Structure 1
Amino acid sequence: MNTVSAFLQSLRVRSWTKNLFVFAGILFADHWTNPRALGITALGAVGFSLLSSSVYLMNDVADRERDRNHPEKSTRPVASGRLPVSCAISGASFLALAVLSVSWFAAPRFALVLSVYLAMQIAYSAGLKNAVILDVLLIALGFVLRAIAGVTLAMDTGYHDVSISHWLILCTFFLAMFLGFAKRRSEVIALGPQASGHRRSLEEYSVRLLDEMMGIATAASIIGYSIYSISDRTMALVSTRLWLTIPFVTYGVFRYLYLIHVKGHGGSPDRLLLSDKPLLVNILLWVISVALAVNLCPGTGTTGI
């Protein structure tokens, strides 16, 4: 029973919030009120979450020695010895094979995106996580793949009017870069001189460098979303009033910066998302405002993101 509990803990269900990016496609394409589209996307998000959990298990096995030097990660089931390595490997393999098998049968293009994500995560665990800057870049690409996965799933299941905006992809990419650099900053500060003992890339980072890169990613995220909101393509295909949602994005990014620099948070984005009420309320208001803008003030052509 203790092994089962340890295995479930290793799935990191709290981190499944990252896979909400899968819903971006139907949100911006005005299919969020369609029960079938919503149900299919929810199943896709669950599949992506289970695949992500298999990656977490693989990472825990690969990093178990280094995690023992981390004040928080040392309590993880694999690092602490509560979950045997053999069980973690078996569980990760089963989850990955099950998700990919079902996906290839039901939605081939969606399965292809999942396969690319898994291959990228394996490369990350195999050594790219120790490459400064590239480590965060790969994390950001993982978020981009989540958004693309939602679109491909919609197309695989008959919603061919859902498309991908390059601006929205860039916005997702830079927002994820911002969150990734914020996490690295928290690790550098928390671990101090022992940072390199946990992750080799951390010795190449400094708080000043991370602050500068966070600033660039922050600006790119807000500007990218703003340009997307007022672009001719968005006005024609999505909504003529999406620009009204820009303040929510701006506040959300600035609120996160406040939590990082004033409150000392940032080490766990998924935990912060669920624990900071102003940030959570702002995200909910943003989702509602996007849904209303797309539904009440639709574009002049076919839908898309």
Structure 2
Amino acid sequence: MTTENTSLAGRVCLVAGATRGAGRAIAVQLGTAGATVYVTGRTTREKISEVGRATETIEETAELVTAAGGEGIAVPTDHLDPEQVRALVGRIDRERGRLDVLVNDVWGGEHLIGSAFGKKTWELDLAAGLRMLELGVRTHAVTSHTALPLLVRHPGGLVVEVTDGTAAYNATRFRENLFYDLAKNAPIRMAFGLGKELEEYGGTAVALTPGWLRSEQMLTTFGVTEETWRDAVEKIPDFAISESPVYVGRAVAALAADPDRHRWNGRSLSSAELAGEYGFTDADGSRPDAWGFIVAGETGQPDAADYR
């Protein structure tokens, strides 16, 4: 008897922004379930994006998807360029004739944050702030506008808007500065609006946030690896509640495989919430609830172990 996961065999997925972090993990977990996954980004083995990291490429992501059991296809794409996105969607249509899952994970704005958190709007670098909105909002709008006609061709499509923070958390808190706040709240509203538009096609749109994500970039910042990440907890105790990208990847794969996922339509979700619903764990077997821990920390001193 085989234990191979083929729950998404025959499904065609597009993960926009799959070079690293959550996007890469989502693509790999969809591949683990047997899906065909088109992965996009701006960093390739020949060219590095403005993020400035040559250590992760979309070609590598595609290879990881294939090694996991799916079929990974890397397509270099700048999602700010409608022509490039049209070419991408046209290729998917020609090669597969359908699109079942669209994951809007494009971001790449970490290098714009720097010391900008906590500053007033008029103290910020305007060009950097507007670039943040381009990367985190315009890219998602361009991609949805272009890809959704293919997705609605077959009923039951899924759109996942990846962001930072749940609707409940963000609604009563100002997220660091105006531009970041706008960039991370817009996908939540996009999921709500797209959910309304997709309803007549049997489609589902959700916003999804990881917790404190141990992305490749975050690990580099703290001078640790995925194997040694706990070494950073001594200096940054709250890092104990962090989660690997696998966690949010498994959340998307579980959503995509759920025939009753429409019950989530228009909702804002977290990786921890979906772990409780679907029963999956992070790579280490734990179920971290970063947002629960963060909220508890506003009025007390919670133990991270109680939220894993």
What is the TM-score when the length of structure 1 is the normalising length? 0.26
**Greater relative contact order: 1 or 2 (C-alpha under 8 angstroms, separation 6 or more)?**
1
